Amino acid sequence: MSSRLSVLTVLSTLSSAVGAGAQDDASESKSREEQFEGGMQDTITHELIPVRRGRHPPRVEITASRGCLEIKLLLLSPVPSELPPFEKSVVHISTTTKPVRITVYRACGAESHFLQLTIAAKPSADVTIVLPLTFRGIVNVESHPRKPRVLCNTAFSGRMKCGFITLDRGRTAAVDEDEISVRTPARVELRLMDAGDRDRHTMLDRLKLIVRRSLV
For each of the chain's 216 residues, which pLDDT tens digit applies?
Answer: 433 333 333 333 333 333 333 333 333 333 333 333 334 457 788 888 888 887 877 678 887 666 667 889 999 988 877 878 888 999 998 887 778 899 999 998 899 999 999 999 888 788 999 999 999 999 999 876 666 688 999 999 998 999 899 987 677 888 899 999 999 888 899 999 875 555 444 444 555 566 555 555
- In terms of residues, how long is the chain? 216
- My answer on whether omega of the bond before 85 falls inside 30° of 0, hence cis, is yes
Cα 68 → chain centroid = 16
- Nearest Cα to Cα of residue 127 among 117, 137, 136: 117
pLDDT value at residue 156: 92
H helix runs in 9-125, sequence order = 19-22
DSSP-derived secondary structure for 91-108: EEEEESSS-EEEEEEE-T
CA-to-CA distance for 51 and 92, rounded, in angstroms?
18
pLDDT value at residue 32: 31
CA-to-CA distance for 152 and 167, rounded, in angstroms?
11
pLDDT value at residue 179: 95
CA-to-CA distance for 101 and 133, rounded, in angstroms?
17
- Nearest Cα to Cα of residue 55 among 93, 13, 91: 13
The DSSP 8-state label assigned to residue 161 in this structure reads: H
Integer CA distances (angstroms), 65 to 70, 72, 119, in order: 13, 18, 14
185, amino acid identity: P
pTM for this entry? 0.70
pLDDT value at residue 164: 92
Q: In the chain, where are the structural domains located?
A: 5-215
